[in-house]
Amino acid sequence: MRIVVLDGHTLNPGDNPWDPIAAYGELTVYDRTVPDQIIEHAMDAEIVMTNKTPLDAETLERLPNLKYVGVLATGCNVVDLAAARRLGIPVCNVPEYGTNSVAQHVFSLILALCNRTVHHDQLIREGEWTRRNDFSFWDGPLIELSGKCLGIVGYGRIGHRVAELGRSFGMKIATYSPDPAPSLHIEPIHWKSLDEIFAESDVVSLHCPQTEDNVGMVNRRLLSLMKPTAFLINTARGGLINEQDLADALNTGTLAGAGLDVLSVEPPTDDNPLLTSKNTILTPHIAWAALEARKRLTAVAADNIAAFLRGRPANVMNGVG
C-alpha cells in the first residue's frame, strides 16, 4: 500500500515519528506541497493524507490509484467531500485529539486579554515599571473572570471542555449549537440564540466547523450586539469572521479585544486588517499543536488506515464505506 503525506511538517517537525502510519505501507512524506505539485506528489498513492493541502474535485479525478483520503485534522473543508463520495473514496478525519490542547489555548487567550499580559510585559521591557517608582502598576483595566458570562458557539467536545474550564473560573456558561450532543451537557448551562450569545456574553468563543453557510457569520451586525467590554475568541476557523468588520469593531471600541488563533488566509497577507487592529492577540494556528495532541493525532490517523484496510473505515466524513 503506497501512502503519501502531502504536508507533514506541522504534524511532525522532528519530534513526532511517522512509525504508526509507516507500519501500514510504503510511506512518503512531503513537508509541504504547493498546489501545482499535488498531482506529482500523489499520482501513485493509494492512500493520501493531508492537513491543509486542498484536494478539490479536479485533483481527485486525476488520481487514478487513490482509494482513501486521510485528513490529519478534524475539519475536512480542504477536501471536496461530494466528489470523493462520487468516486467511492472514503474521507476520514481525526475528530478527537486536541480537545484539551485547544481548550487550554482558549483560556491562554482569554487570560492574556483579561490581565493584559503581553502589554505589560512590553511596558516593563521599555522601562515603564522603573519610571513609575511603584511596586505595582497597571495600564488599562484588569478583569476577573468569576461571575462573567462565557458564550460558546458550537458545543461539541472542545466547546464542552471550554465550558468545564469556564466553570472552574466561576463563569456562567451560555451556549449556542444547532445540533448539540446530548452526552456533553453540563449543568448549570443556558442555551441561547446566536444573537443572545453575542449580546449577553462577556467572552464569546467560537467552536463550530466552517461551512458554506457560516462563512463570515461574525459580521458587523453580530459584533454590534456585543458589550463594549467583551472579548471575542476564535480557535476554530478564520473564515467564520468577517475580518474587516472585526477590525473596525476593535478600532472603534465596539468590543474590548479579540484573541485569534486562526485567520481566513494562513499565513496572513500583509493587508489583513487584524494585524494592526487594537487590543488583538494573534497566535499562528497553534491551539492544536501541543506534542501530546500531535502524537494522539498520528495514532488515530494510523488507526483510521487500519480500519480502512480491514474494510470498515472509521471516522468517515463523506458516507463512503
The span from the CA of 216 to the CA of 213, in Å, is: 9
Asked whether the beta carbons of 243 and 218 are under 8 A apart, the reply is no
Q: Which amino acid is at 31?
A: D
Residue 206, C-beta contacts closer than 8 angstroms, at least 6 positions apart: 153, 154, 218, 232, 233, 234, 235, 236, 240, 241
Residue where the block lists cell 472603534? 252
Read off the DSSP letter of residue 171. -
Q: b vs e for 236-252, b when ≥16 Cβ sit within 10 Å of the residue's Cβ?
A: bbbbbbbbebbbebbee
Exposure of 165 by Cβ count < 10 A (0-12 exposed, 13-18 middle, 19+ buried)? Answer: middle
**Which residues are known catalytic residues?**
237, 266, 285
